[in-house]
Amino acid sequence: MLMSKLSLHNRIFKLALVLVAIFTFLGAGDESARFKDLGHRLMCVCGCSQILLECNHVGCTYSDRMRGELMAALDNGNNDDLTLQSFVQKYGTTVLAAPTKAGFNRVAWIMPYVALVLGLAMTILLVRKWKSRALPSMAGGVRPVTGPELDQFREQARRETDL
Amino acid sequence: MSQIGSYALLLALALSAYCFLAGSLALARPGAGSERVGETARRAGIAVFALVFLASVVLVVSAFQDDFSIAYIFHHSNRDLPAPYKFATLWSGQEGSLLFWSLLLAIYGLVLRLRYKTDARLFAYASVIIAAVQVFFLMLLNFAAHPFAVMQGSIPADGNGLNPLLQYPEMVIHPPMLYLGYVGFTIPFAFAMAALIMRYPGERWIHITRRWTMVTWGFLTVGIFLGAHWAYSVLGWGGYWGWDPVENASLMPWLTGTAFLHSVMMQEKRGMLKVWNMWLVFATFWLAILGTFLTRSGIISSVHAFAQSSIGDWFAWFLALSFASFMFFFVKNKSHLRSEHKLESLVSRESSFLFNNLLFVLACFTVLWGTWFPKISEWVQDKKVTVGAPFYNNVAIPVTLLLLLLTAVGPLLAWRKTSLESLKRNFLWPSIGALAVGAAMMIFGVRPWNDISYFYSLMAAMLAALVVLTVVSEFVRGGRVIARHTGQNLLGSMLHLWHRNTRRYGGYIVHFGVAMVVIGILGTPFNKDVEKEMGFGDKMTLGPYTLVCQSYTQDDNPNYSNEWAIINVMRGDKQITTMYPERRFYKASQQAQTIPRIYATVAEDFLLVKDLYIVYEGVNQDTGRPIIKAHLNPLVPWIWLGVIVMVLGTISALIPNAAPVRVSAPARVQPAPVGAGD
């Protein structure tokens, strides 16, 4: 009985593995997907400030040529880094649609996350400070109700106003 | 004619300066006579409107009269320009758009000065601050960017014409909407500064400015999306947002303005976040000016910035001066801005607003940082870099997803504290619905592990579904309670529910619209495109559609000559439409322009609607054959529909609540399972 249960689990596990593998390899990247990906990581350098594959402005003298160069680089079997590097050498660093993740350019990528961490830390500090704050006293020494007593009032208010 | 405009602007500057100085004096030295001086300042402010309006009329009339002795008209109009675009000349160039800005500020100022009896002293302070901003713009117009400068030498027979990209119907309404938003944020800023300077007691100034802020936010929203729609319909690259610095410039004040719209409720209801709100409202105003500085100084290169000019220095000084003034009064009076209440629980509306504000401000910082980084890189490493879509998508998409989560969760949390039971009650069914949407997408082939963009799409779809379902469930639950009491049908009850608290339920409608916009955006990773040289009878396949080239034709009018492709669109054997992508050649400016054609497949795909987007790209010089590019963009129409819903939600939130119904005795009914109140 135990053996048959183990065997069943084994089969389910294998089936799950096969399914994951099938899903993973469905739609796996091909050359046209690479062309699309790299073409969206490059800018057209004609001055239109558009992504290479999105530049369609009339009379552009660069985009067709650059697309041809990209296609040729892929046909030559160059990897992504080499392809992008060849464009940088030819057209300068502004041909890349985003800063590289090296040297000072790393700062561009890091800063939003630094801001997020700082913002979160400040929010948490603020929340803690507000939670520990003493309740303000009201005229006549009346103090606002809190906790279960407040919940009771809220429930009563709901019942009586229905909204 | 131009002299009338010039004198009107000079006089407007003098009166604005008087409004500022006399108004300040009357407020600084209250006593006998100061009221009369204050009143003259108010009237001077009203007269500024009349003069700036006169100058604007003169410029528009000059455009219609083809008065090319005025340099601005020569550069931005021509004889054969259609009438709506002649009218739009007012905001088509640097000088005219600054005049238009000044006009809108004068209109806002006029309304404020006419309604001064609401709170005379607060309004007097706000009027002085508006006058100070107006002085800056009128100085620009008189001394740096004069719209009535005359041509040197002989008067040209015809003008240069309007930029072809701007000759599109939306460009007649997009800039006014955007400017109404930019300029409008001066009003909440003026009231906030007024409250800060005079240490205004209580939160009434927020009640007074609430509608101003919402109207302004609504205009900015419409302006931004009209710009996106214009880019989509005219630029012909198949997208609607390119993270261009000029687009970013409009997004930044929108983000802080949206944060302010949320956090201001904390101040109204709980007396919290006073310092934060003061900074948010200042930041929104300041970012609107900064955006204008970016657009007009030429400091950052952009595809649709105005030409580089010296007015950048003026803006830089104004930004510095406004920051210094705000800091001075903030430091002087910040003790007045202490919070009054404590936070009782992390699971509460208050904390959801805190995190919502954190995310909005983080998104704004990211956009600001990305916009400025090319300049920073130039200063630090003497190397130019491009910060484009891959950077923003990397950071902005996760932030947007988190914001969407808060959009779903936040409104249903109670003020002060939310019980676990209430959370379960409010979120169980919407969460199940969202998971079902995710599962359905995976069954239909979305593989989130294959590509990060698919993962984002899946998450966005689930969260958008969560937002939609929580909003719907909130309406239905509240509607049912009212239906039980009144015997109305559910729809009538929901209408009744909305009318009892238009701001809250209007806000929910806006959230619904936001979810629709997100649904429209999440189709992006599934876009397809194809390009082909097409002669007569040639076919091209894109998804389930086959495009058949029928013919090409030409036409001519005084403004431009054009060429159309006639493309039949087939789905299977059935012809569903004929499309006419076009190329124009504008005669005055000697520039060519493509006009894409877009067909939304509502009849074929219903909720999963796609845009079939066809561009006539031109003729291959080698083969002489026309090139047609076609995009299939899933779900894009949802974006425009979502914006309409957002606008309707904003308008509905502006409608006053129905008068409360008095009841003599408490109703004896079951506790209502409704969320948390406004």
Q: Helix H segments across B239-342?
A: 245-270, 274-297, 311-333
Structural domains counted in chain B:
4
B339 at A interface, C-beta within 8 A? yes
As a whole number, mean pLDDT of residues B613-623 equals 84
Domain boundary among B407, B427, B455: B407
- Residue B597: the pLDDT is 94
Helix (H, G, I), strand (E, B) or coil at B600: strand
As a whole number, mean pLDDT of residues B539-546 equals 93
As a whole number, mean pLDDT of residues B333-357 equals 80
Domain boundary among B134, B161, B188: B161
- Residue A137: the pLDDT is 52
Q: Are residues B535 and B501 in the same domain?
A: no
Tokens 């009212």 label which residue? B482
Q: Which residues of A touch B381 (CB under 8 A)?
A: 103-104
pTM score, two decimals?
Answer: 0.87
Q: What is the CA radius of gyration of chain A?
A: 30
- Residue B382: the pLDDT is 87
A135 at B interface, C-beta within 8 A? yes
Q: Which residues of A touch B354 (CB under 8 A)?
A: 123, 126-127
Of residues B57 and A124, the one with the higher pLDDT is: B57
Q: Which residues of B touch A84 (CB under 8 A)?
A: none
- Residue A17: the pLDDT is 59
What is the ipTM for the molecules in this complex?
0.81
Asked if B2 and B48 count as a contact pair (C-beta separation under 8 A), the reply is: no
**Residue stretches of chain A with pLDDT short of 50:** 1-2, 22-29, 163
B316 domain-assigned: yes
Helix orientation angle between B186-197 and B274-297, rounded to the nearest 10 degrees:
140
Q: Are residues B149 and B241 in the same domain?
A: no
Best-predicted range by mean pLDDT (A25-29, B117-121, B224-228, B268-272): B224-228
Q: How many helices (H) and strands (E) does chain A have?
A: 6, 0
B214 domain-assigned: yes
Looking at the predicted structure, is the pLDDT value of residue B81 above 60? yes
- Residue A161: the pLDDT is 57
B678 domain-assigned: no
B34 domain-assigned: yes
Asked if A127 and B354 count as a contact pair (C-beta separation under 8 A), the reply is: yes
B578 forms bridges with which residues in the sheet? B568
Q: Are residues B323 and B393 in the same domain?
A: yes
A68 at B interface, C-beta within 8 A? no
Within 10 A of B655 (CB to CB), how many other CB atoms are there?
12
Q: Which residues of B touch A120 (CB under 8 A)?
A: 358
Q: Helix H segments across A26-105?
A: 31-39, 63-75, 80-91
Q: Are residues B113 and B28 in the same domain?
A: yes
Assign B325 a pLDDT band (cuts: 50, 70, 90): very high
B594 forms bridges with which residues in the sheet? B583
Task: Kindly report, residue by residue over B171-206, the tens digit of the pLDDT.
Answer: 889 989 999 999 999 999 999 999 999 988 877 888
Q: Are residues B210 and B227 in the same domain?
A: yes
- Residue A26: the pLDDT is 46
Tell me whether residues A119 and B386 touch, CB distance under 8 A: no
**Structural domain that includes position B386:** 168-339+347-407
- Residue B308: the pLDDT is 58
Q: Are residues B519 and B532 in the same domain?
A: no
- Residue A124: the pLDDT is 86
Q: Are residues B238 and B334 in the same domain?
A: yes
- Residue B671: the pLDDT is 43
Instruction: Using CB atoms, pick whichever of A56, A131, A158 lies closest to residue B629.
Output: A56
As a whole number, mean pLDDT of residues B552-578 equals 91
Tell me whether residues A105 and B377 touch, CB distance under 8 A: yes
- Residue B570: the pLDDT is 94
- Residue B579: the pLDDT is 95
Q: Are residues B4 and B152 in the same domain?
A: yes
Closest by CA position to B455, among listed B502, B393, B510, B410: B393
Mean pLDDT over each residue of chain B, to the nearest integer? 88
Q: Are residues B242 and B372 in the same domain?
A: yes
In total, the C-beta contacts within 8 angstroms joining chain A to chain B are 159
- Residue B396: the pLDDT is 85
A31-98: CATH topology is: Helicase, Ruva Protein; domain 3 (1.10.8)
Residues B385, B376: Cα–Cα separation, whole Å: 10
Tell me whether residues B593 and A58 touch, CB distance under 8 A: yes
Domain boundary among B387, B407, B427: B407
Six-digit token string for B135 = 């002085």
- Residue B670: the pLDDT is 46
Q: How big is the CA angle at B183 (ends B179 and B184), to the nearest 5 degrees?
A: 110
- Residue B504 distance to chain A (closest CA, Å): 13
- Residue A23: the pLDDT is 47
Percent of chain B with pLDDT strictly greater than 70: 95
Q: How big is the CA angle at A30 (ends A25 and A36), to the nearest 5 degrees?
A: 125
Of residues B394 and B637, the one with the higher pLDDT is: B637
Looking at the predicted structure, is the pLDDT value of residue B674 above 50? no
If 0-12 CB within 10 Å is exposed, 13-18 middle and 19+ buried, where does residue A86 land?
middle
Tell me whether residues B369 and A111 touch, CB distance under 8 A: yes
Q: Are residues B155 and B179 in the same domain?
A: no
Name which of B232, B237, B674 to mutate to probe chain A: the one with the most chain A Cβ atoms within 10 A of its Cβ: B237
- Residue B647: the pLDDT is 96
B665 domain-assigned: no
Tell me whether residues B672 and A26 touch, CB distance under 8 A: no
Tell me whether residues A27 and B377 touch, CB distance under 8 A: no
Instruction: Using CB atoms, pick whichever of A59, A108, A130 lies closest to residue B343.
Output: A130
Q: What end-to-end distance do the CA atoms of chain A give, in Å?
A: 57
Task: Kindly report, residue by residue over B509-532, the tens digit of the pLDDT.
Answer: 999 999 999 999 999 888 888 888
Instruction: Using CB atoms, pick whichever of B340, B592, B671 lies closest to residue A159.
Output: B671
- Chain A residue closest in CA terms to B351: A127
Residues B82, B78: Cα–Cα separation, whole Å: 9
Q: Which residues of A touch B417 (CB under 8 A)?
A: 150-151
Tell me whether residues B386 and A98 touch, CB distance under 8 A: yes
Q: Are residues B385 and B241 in the same domain?
A: yes
Q: In what order do the strands lie in the sheet with B626-634?
A: B528-533, B626-634, B610-619, B597-600
Lowest mean pLDDT across B199-213, B455-469, B477-491, B552-566: B199-213
B219 domain-assigned: yes
Task: Kindly report, residue by residue over B300-310, the tens digit of the pLDDT.
Answer: 766 555 555 67
Asked if B287 and B367 count as a contact pair (C-beta separation under 8 A), the reply is: no
